[in-house]
Structure 1
Amino acid sequence: MDKTSIDRELLHSTHTTSLINTSDLTDMNDALYDKGNHFQDNYLNKLVFLIDMKYSQDESSNQLSQSAVTSIFTSWQFIFNELITQNRRMDEKIDQLEKTCHQNPNNQNERLNIAEKQMKDLHIENNQLKNQLDNHMKQCNTFLNNNQVAEEQDNQARLNKLGETNNHLNTCLVQLNIRLNNNEIQTSKFDKENKELKEKMKLLQEQSRQQLETSQEFIDLCLTQLNDQAKTIGELEKRMKKLDKQITSDVYTSETVIPDKIERVLQKIQQYNDRSLMDLRRQELTDQDMKIVVQNIQINTQCERLWLDYNKITSIGLSILANGLNNTNTLQQLSLSNNAISDDGIHSLAKSLSTHNHSLKELHLGHNKITDEGIKYLAEMLKTNQTLTHLYLQKNDITDNGIRILADVIEKYNSTIEKTKQILKTISCVADFVDNDPNHKLNNSTVINNQTEYDDREPSGATIPDKIEKVLQKIQQYNDRSLMDLRRQELTDQDMKIVVQNIHINTQCERLWLDYNKITSIGLSILASGLNNNNTLQQLSLSNNAISDDGIHSLVKSLATHNNSLKELHLGHNKITDEGIEYLAEMLKTNQTLTHLYLQKNDITDNGIRILADVIEKYNSTIESLSLYSNKLLSDLSVHFLLQMIRNHRSLKKVYIYDCNLSQTGKNRLLSAQQSKQNFKVYVNSLND
């Protein structure tokens, strides 16, 4: 192969790969003719060096991939194989030429001239090819530079993008770290709550177990008492049947009436010349004698006044008498004071007076054990009866609620009653409660019990002057303005106005003692109104009065809404029942200042204790001391409710419940609660436990 062909092949390969410079090709071309047979080794070594150099450059600059290098090496290998093959052929031709030159020396110069001419042509052609190769190399370098700049820009863009991605990842890591910390905090919080819940569960399980045991004991106790009560009721029913038979036999069998008793009654009836009066007072008349009385009333059509006071007449006798009064148009006055009529007798009498009798004007029912139930019967009768003008109910068991019912009916429905209205005005003389405040609750204990006294007495709205002076002196004698001690001063409802006025004047009063007086629900209502918005009074003592449930109703209204200072309240020995306890319980739901509550010596039952204990346990958090001693109606049933309150109320420190109707078992159960609770004391035997 000649030099021109070699250069063309080299140029072709350069255009293909753009990896070898023009100077490198010139060196290789010169080496081809200067080195002769060493061309293969030297050229291959240089080629390998150049390829390694370019490959290393490309590898460092990340410009060529592995596949591009492999493709370049394969194309160069093919060219060099051709060059080696042609070189061998040239060697063979040179050997033949040398032989020919030795054989034909004449033609050698001619051939050398031709060869020189060809060499010149080849040099010219080679220079042209070099120029073309240089141009191509410049273009390749320009392309490479542009490619390098583009790659750098691309790499910079990639780096920027990688930086942004890295920043985003860092932000995500920070957020994840924050969430991880929050999760750890919540996990620790959940662990703590879980532990607390487990402890509460254990406590609840223990309480449930104790409650189950207590409930079982309570149920057993209830069953035992129910069985005892059932037996008692059975025995009572048997006795009642016997008594009914005996009464029926005694009343309706004429043979049972004692002959001399009949004779004496008839003589008493007939001894009066005045046929309008039948005076049978203090004759020891019984229910059996009422048939004789009725018969004589029916015979004596002139009888206008029938006096049966101070006898032994019960509801049965009054039922017989009431039937005899049906359609009687002459009787105007009936006096039955000081008997044993009770509510059932009033029921029978009220029926007769409502429908059949239209002549009776005056009715005396004092001292007959009449309660609010009997007052309801009378109130219903007064709605329709328009003849009765005088009604006497002194010395009975009527409460403020009964008076309220009676006053309401007389005010709204009855226009004939005169004397009862006057008495009601006497009751309410302190503040004219009937005329100005018909909803106010009145107390029967203020009714003057002697008939002669309240017949002649006029209503009085003023307090006796010397009594006022005495109370004022008692109030003013103390140097300690924080205490107002008015115990055992015989204070009545009328005096409460003076007390309230002095409380308003003395803004330093912290303790007010009104024990052992004659204060009723009316007086307490006046006092409660005076305590509204009072912020200094801390102790109020009202033990041993006659406050009753209605008085409690008035007091708790003030304590529930208007008073925020009272801490200690004494209400012992005031005839408070479960109704009053309900009022107190409602007050304790909202009042959060009262710490000491004393309710000893009242008429509270087990149901009242249930109501009170339930409210203190669930709604109140301030009560520290609770006094319930000497409530005789309390039994072991109350122990269950008290135990629930003691176990679940944190501030409770003392409970007084001695001198009640508790068994030793009930007392022991309360004492066991004392042992299981710190800073707590229960008094079940005496104050000195």
Structure 2
Amino acid sequence: MDNYEYMNISAISDALICEICRNPFINPVILPYPCERTYCLKCIQSNLEKHSNNCMQCNKKSLSNTELKNESPILRKMLDNLLVRCRSCAQINIQRSNFSKHIQQMCPKRIVSCSANDIQCSWKGHFDQLNQHFNVCPYEKLRTPLTKLINDVQRLDQLDQLQTNFQNLKIKFQQQQNQIEQIENENKILNEQINEMKKFEIEHKNLNEKNNEQINEINQLKNKKQTIQDQCDQYKTTINDLIIELKTLSISLQQANILIEKFEKENKLLQEDSNQLNLSQINYQTLDELYQQQQIQIDSFNKENQYLQEELLYYKQELEQLNQHFKQIQTENQQFHQRYVLYNRENNTLNEQNQQLNQQLIIYKKNLQQLNQDFKQMQIDNQQLKEQSVRYKIEIDELTIKNKRLEAKLYKPIIQSHKIADKSNYQNTGLEELINRCQTSSIVNLNGQKINDDDIDIVINTTLFNKQCQSLILWNNCLTSYSISKLFSSLSINTTLKKLSISKNHLSDIAIKSLSESLLFKNSTLKELVLSSNEITDEGLIYLSDMLKINETLIVLGLQDNKITNKAIQYLCQVIQFNNKTIEEISLYSNKLITDISIDYILNMITNNQSLKTFWIWDCQLSEQGKCKLQQSIQSKIDFDLRL
């Protein structure tokens, strides 16, 4: 039920009251024909899950959630128009349909946060206490210094960011320093190239001078050649004259005989001149060849000179660009120089730290060598442990086989007792027929069948071993501590039963102890256990609580309408809070001895246990203040079902 109570509940018609929870319907549904009774949706679902899937009225028809139908809109409208009183603020005459709006927006007792939660105020309380808290709130009074402090923290964060940026700038500066060094190296290379170019220019000038000298020599050779040519021409003319004279001499041989000696002398002279002429021609040819070679060299020198001049012009332009870039780098270098001074100081400190780290590194290396030696020793020990674990595994396997043999001997008396019961003359044909009509691996409902100690063997053999049922209901029977102990002993070897309901059987705490011990086995498959209306005391609940410390299968525990007090409830809450992570639902309603003394223990259990989703504790001796405290504890829980 929510945090409200109905106005004039005695005046509400019985047609609007649920027979299970005895409160007006919430989400009413109708059972199918022929019963056609109306119940709350949660009540009928809980009843079907915990007790049986059979109809509550006729106990014959099997029901499912799909067969439940919604009640008529008229009835729902009547339920929504019921007037309720808010338990938190005591406001009356609130329509039930508007209560959620009231509790969220209008109730002065609703839980709100302080307006100073933006500066870390953790206060949460009722809305009508907000102004009172606001007047004394230390955070609100200190809002200005706290805001300044928060801003200072943000500035510190910004300072950290600036430090990271400074580190990034330092890295960039180092990169630019490297680039400057690289550019300086390139400048050195370029300067060397320029010096080589200057040397080349000097060589080029020397070559030009040599070339000019060679041209002058060639011109002189040309002049000599021309003079020789002129001499040759003269010699030719003289030869022609001589030929004419020879003709005249041949005509006048006789006259020539006189002058033969003279002519012979002249002929010798001419012969010598002719030889000189031949030599001059040969010299002329060699000079001509030299001239052509010189001309070719001059052309190549001219081309090379032109190419070098073009390259020189290109290098001059590139040199101007490099000079401009160098000036820019010099300006940047001046800017970086100041930073470099600071960085140099840091570098000195880093060098000192580096020396310390080097010393530590030497120590670490020694430690590492020692660790390596220890590691080798550990490997040897590990190998020995592996060999020892193999031996232990063999021993464990042998012990497991012995354990299984001991379990067989332990369970043998139970199996023999089953056989003795089968061979006895006692029969209950009605009970056997009722069980045989049930399907295998399904629900067996033996509600009100007056089962006694003689019938319990039939129930164990047929339901647990033959039918292998998953749900067994034994309400309103005549079970004694003997039959209960026998039934619970069989649970330790059963692997199919998931739901067990033994309500209204007047169980003793000794029987509960036997049940708790049987559920300590790891092979237990029981998930839901209902023990309502059995006069269980604190002793029995303590046995069950100790079982919940170890059992990881049970998720539903029903203990409603018993004789449990605050002492055992407090112990159960501590076990659920600290030692159990699987329980999902606990029912403790109609335990009249539970009071507000247990409120704090229940609240801690609900708050700190993550698996618990349903807790029913209505019809106990809890005050309205205690109920309100529990109701507030589940506001942070999602889909938690708390019924008070």
User: Normalising by structure 2, what TM-score?
Assistant: 0.35
User: Normalising by structure 1, what TM-score?
Assistant: 0.33
Considering Cα pairs closer than 8 Å and 6+ residues apart, tell me whether 1 or 2 has the greater RCO: 2
